[in-house]
Amino acid sequence: MNLDEIKGKLPAGSMITNALFEGSDIIFYTKNKNFFLESSSDVRDLVQMLRKRIDIRPDPAICEKQDVAAANIRKIAPAEAEVGEILFEPEFSRVIIYAKKPGLIIGKQGETLKKIKQETCWSPMIKRIPLIQSKIVDKAREIIHSESKYRQRFLNKIGEQIRLDKGSKEGWVRVSFLGSAREVGRSAILLQTKKSRVLLDCGVNVASVAERHPYLDIPEFDIEALDAVIISHAHLDHAGFLPYLYEYGYEGPTYLTAPTRDIMILQQLDYIKTMQGETGSAPYTSKGIKGAVKHSIIMDYGHVVDITGDMRLTFHNAGHILGSAISHIHIGEGLHNLVYTADFKYGKSRLFDQASMNFARCESIIMESTYGGAADRTLSKQESEEKLTNLVKETIKRGGKVVIPSFAVGRAQELMIFFAEMADKKEIDVPVYLDGMIWDVTAIHTAYPEFLSRGLQKQIFHQSNNPFINPVFKRVASQVERKKVIDGGPAVIITTSGMVTGGPIMEYLRCLAEDEKNTLVFVGYQAEGTLGRNIQMGWRDISMTNRTAGDSRSTVRINMQVETASGFGAHSDRQQLLNYISRLKSKPERVILNHGESKKIVDFGRNIHKIFRIETQYPHNLDALRLK
Ligand SMILES: [Zn+2]
């Protein structure tokens, strides 16, 4: 059905002045104010039939003047909503209203929002002002807003392509592993059909120098022929190489969640800075990062979106980090259903609900297996928390400091919730310092509370107790402040990088490792070859660079207590991975394992085959598998 035919199904007098595609959505502009306000029931059947979102927007001619509309909005919105900036995007007949309490602008059953539409005749979009100000959130929003003219053309072009490029029942589906096969890092999988080429993730391997980037130089990968990119979550090993595509000519869309987009920018900016510092060059510049933001298409969990003529994407909660998604891809009209888990946690954490597994159909599943090894049983959440509580109490009692290397994203916030609770219960009376990127990432968590677990949302919204702004936390933002923490009294220090590969942790380790009163606690995955793994395995004499003294090198003796509390992990352990397969609503015909160390993956794969009697594959990089 083309747009004119769809338009023909709208009621007489709907006064449509423009009809167009915007990505996967269909947009109608109307000059009939009543139709703009009351059209939802008229289009419901069409939405059902077409399985596409339809948005009715006011024709610019009937929108109220911007200054009058803004004044009206401020009058209608209750004061407690704390309205901030109001921005207009005439290209979309849209007004963006920033507020501290967005729910109050929507009102009971959408009453307030309806009134705004009625009085101003603009399409309102409400966005949350984060509790902690974040330059990155502001910057991402600014790029999107300032590029709205470009984005309108871009979304329209994407929409036309999807519509013109119809899939068929016949055909084939295959995946090629450009990275992340039998390794933890540089996730990049090319999904191809006769009609489409979609890249699942585009990451780097931060633990490797020689094999840092995915194999984008193979013949079947052509940047210009790529239709879409899907980014599962913001960790560098899944999103760290995305800007490279935009730097070198890709102009298509990247599908991701809003928090993934914001956190990803932080990580990528930090990555090019680190690479410049370490090797004198970076694989891309901020131009590539801006390109990725400009071409991003934001998805919410549960929304079904056509991403190419023959692929329909739905994101589901992965329970791994803020905004992390499991992708369900419906290919052709029922030809094949692929689930790409990327990193996921099938177990409860304080931050997120456990990963979702309700897929109506799933013939193939590509599953991460970071902790698929036979010995990979992590401590339970409770065991870990008890262990950490005791370690912290003992260390503080003897006048020491607890140093916790942590990823800035996910683990750090999980720890924050734990320490906020300790502080509320008065179990800890020393400051918890946050160093590295952790503060900024936490700020992004306060911008998107709806992505947090139900329990945490309840605590934030109904008990006004937001753990992220607990006064126990102190930010360390400079070398001078870091020195003060090092020279100061007992404290907990949560700092990047998580695998002790660089960042402020190096300085803390250099200065605090020799004092046996202190404790180093590993809470996350330590990849092969990283300093974190070596220390965990028992190395005690470490050669380190002193960045504050002309980069001189010296050997540091680790006398501090070294411990591991593994239950804070954001990945599923072996048993949880097995549980996930067994509880999938639709039993897959084929399990493909990636994102795990080679030995573990082979053992785990054999195990899955033995238990479930389903085809199990664990490809190498550059292998291509035919799914259909
Ligand atoms: Zn991850």
Domain ranges of the chain: 3-61, 63-129, 148-374+571-626, 381-568
Residues 615, 456: Cα–Cα separation, whole Å: 39
Tell me how far the alpha carbon of residue 187 lies from the centroid of ligand 1, in angstroms: 10
What six digits make up the tokens of 525? 């995955």
Q: 50, exposed or middle or buried, with CB in 10 Å at 0-12, 13-18, 19+?
A: middle
Q: How far apart are the first and last CA of the chain?
A: 28
Q: 119, exposed or middle or buried, with CB in 10 Å at 0-12, 13-18, 19+?
A: middle
Task: Break the chain down into helix, strand, coil percent, rounded to 5.
Answer: 40, 25, 40
Residues 100, 312: Cα–Cα separation, whole Å: 34
Tell me how far the alpha carbon of residue 238 lies from the centroid of ligand 1, in angstroms: 7
451-488 core/surface letters (b: 16 or more CB in 10 A; e: else): bbbeebeebbeeeeebbbebebbbebeeeeebeebbee
Q: Is the pLDDT reported for residue 617 higher than 90? A: yes
63-129 and 148-374+571-626: identical CATH topology: no
Q: What values do phi and psi take at 563, rounded to 5?
A: -135, 165
Tell me how far the alpha carbon of residue 527 lies from the centroid of ligand 1, in angstroms: 13
Tell me how far the alpha carbon of residue 184 lies from the centroid of ligand 1, in angstroms: 10
Is the pTM higher than 0.85? The answer reads yes
| Per-residue pLDDT tens digits for 63-111 | 999 999 999 999 999 999 999 999 999 999 999 999 999 999 999 999 9
The predicted structure's pLDDT at residue 138: 85
The predicted structure's pLDDT at residue 324: 98
The predicted structure's pLDDT at residue 166: 60
Tell me how far the alpha carbon of residue 520 lies from the centroid of ligand 1, in angstroms: 23
pLDDT averaged over every residue in the chain: 93
Tell me how far the alpha carbon of residue 559 lies from the centroid of ligand 1, in angstroms: 31
Query: Ion ligand 1 — residues with CB under 5 Å?
Result: 235, 343
pLDDT tier, 60 (very low <50, low <70, confident <90, very high otherwise): very high
Tell me how far the alpha carbon of residue 516 lies from the centroid of ligand 1, in angstroms: 33
Tell me how far the alpha carbon of residue 494 lies from the centroid of ligand 1, in angstroms: 19
3-61: CATH, from 3.30.70.270, 3.40.50.1360, 3.30.300.230, 3.30.70.260: 3.30.300.230
Mean pLDDT lowest among 272-281, 282-291, 416-425: 272-281
The predicted structure's pLDDT at residue 169: 66
Tell me how far the alpha carbon of residue 601 lies from the centroid of ligand 1, in angstroms: 17
Alpha helices in 195-325 (DSSP H): 236-239, 242-247, 258-279, 286-294
The predicted structure's pLDDT at residue 415: 95
Tell me how far the alpha carbon of residue 571 lies from the centroid of ligand 1, in angstroms: 8
The predicted structure's pLDDT at residue 547: 72
Tell me how far the alpha carbon of residue 519 lies from the centroid of ligand 1, in angstroms: 26
Tell me how far the alpha carbon of residue 237 lies from the centroid of ligand 1, in angstroms: 7
Tell me how far the alpha carbon of residue 225 lies from the centroid of ligand 1, in angstroms: 27
Higher-confidence residue of 187 and 373: namely: 187
Q: Is the pLDDT reported for residue 356 higher than 90? A: yes
Letter for the amino acid at 123? S
Tell me how far the alpha carbon of residue 139 lies from the centroid of ligand 1, in angstroms: 24
Tell me how far the alpha carbon of residue 223 lies from the centroid of ligand 1, in angstroms: 25
Tell me how far the alpha carbon of residue 185 lies from the centroid of ligand 1, in angstroms: 9
The predicted structure's pLDDT at residue 41: 76
Assigned fold of 381-568: Rossmann fold (3.40.50)
Q: Is the pLDDT reported for residue 167 higher than 60? A: no
Determine the distance from the C-alpha atom of residue 569 to the mean position of all C-alpha atoms in its chain, rounded to a whole number. Answer: 16
Tell me how far the alpha carbon of residue 202 lies from the centroid of ligand 1, in angstroms: 12
Tell me how far the alpha carbon of residue 235 lies from the centroid of ligand 1, in angstroms: 5
Calculate the alpha carbon distances from 453 to 152, 347, 457, 512, 526 in Å. Answer: 34, 12, 6, 36, 26
Residue 610's DSSP bridge partners are none
Tell me how far the alpha carbon of residue 406 lies from the centroid of ligand 1, in angstroms: 13
Contact 199, 226 (CB under 8 A): yes
What six digits make up the tokens of 470? 């607990």
Tell me how far the alpha carbon of residue 412 lies from the centroid of ligand 1, in angstroms: 13
Tell me how far the alpha carbon of residue 234 lies from the centroid of ligand 1, in angstroms: 7
Tell me how far the alpha carbon of residue 569 lies from the centroid of ligand 1, in angstroms: 10
| Per-residue pLDDT tens digits for 308-327 | 999 999 999 999 999 999 99
Higher-confidence residue of 297 and 586: namely: 297
Tell me how far the alpha carbon of residue 466 lies from the centroid of ligand 1, in angstroms: 24
Contact 161, 153 (CB under 8 A): no
The predicted structure's pLDDT at residue 589: 96
Tell me how far the alpha carbon of residue 230 lies from the centroid of ligand 1, in angstroms: 14
Tell me how far the alpha carbon of residue 343 lies from the centroid of ligand 1, in angstroms: 5
Residues 504, 485: Cα–Cα separation, whole Å: 12
**Arithmetic mean of pLDDT, 8-36:** 92
Tell me how far the alpha carbon of residue 6 lies from the centroid of ligand 1, in angstroms: 42
What six digits make up the tokens of 388? 């950490």
Assigned fold of 148-374+571-626: Metallo-beta-lactamase; Chain A (3.60.15)
The predicted structure's pLDDT at residue 3: 84
% of residues, the chain, pLDDT over 90: 78
Tell me how far the alpha carbon of residue 161 lies from the centroid of ligand 1, in angstroms: 32
Tell me how far the alpha carbon of residue 278 lies from the centroid of ligand 1, in angstroms: 23
Tell me how far the alpha carbon of residue 597 lies from the centroid of ligand 1, in angstroms: 15
Mean pLDDT lowest among 26-35, 74-83, 132-141: 132-141
The predicted structure's pLDDT at residue 378: 72
Tell me how far the alpha carbon of residue 523 lies from the centroid of ligand 1, in angstroms: 14
Tell me how far the alpha carbon of residue 344 lies from the centroid of ligand 1, in angstroms: 8
**Arithmetic mean of pLDDT, 3-24:** 90
Tell me how far the alpha carbon of residue 411 lies from the centroid of ligand 1, in angstroms: 10
Tell me how far the alpha carbon of residue 233 lies from the centroid of ligand 1, in angstroms: 7
Letter for the amino acid at 394? E
| Per-residue pLDDT tens digits for 523-562 | 988 888 899 999 999 999 998 877 777 778 889 999 999 9
The predicted structure's pLDDT at residue 165: 60
DSSP state of 573: B
63-129: CATH, from 3.30.300.20, 3.40.605.10, 3.90.1150.50, 3.30.565.10: 3.30.300.20
The predicted structure's pLDDT at residue 442: 94
What six digits make up the tokens of 56? 């009715």
Residue 451's nearest CA partner among 298, 592, 577 is 298
pLDDT tier, 7 (very low <50, low <70, confident <90, very high otherwise): confident
| Per-residue pLDDT tens digits for 451-490 | 999 999 999 988 889 999 999 999 999 999 999 999 999 9
Residue 344's DSSP bridge partners are none
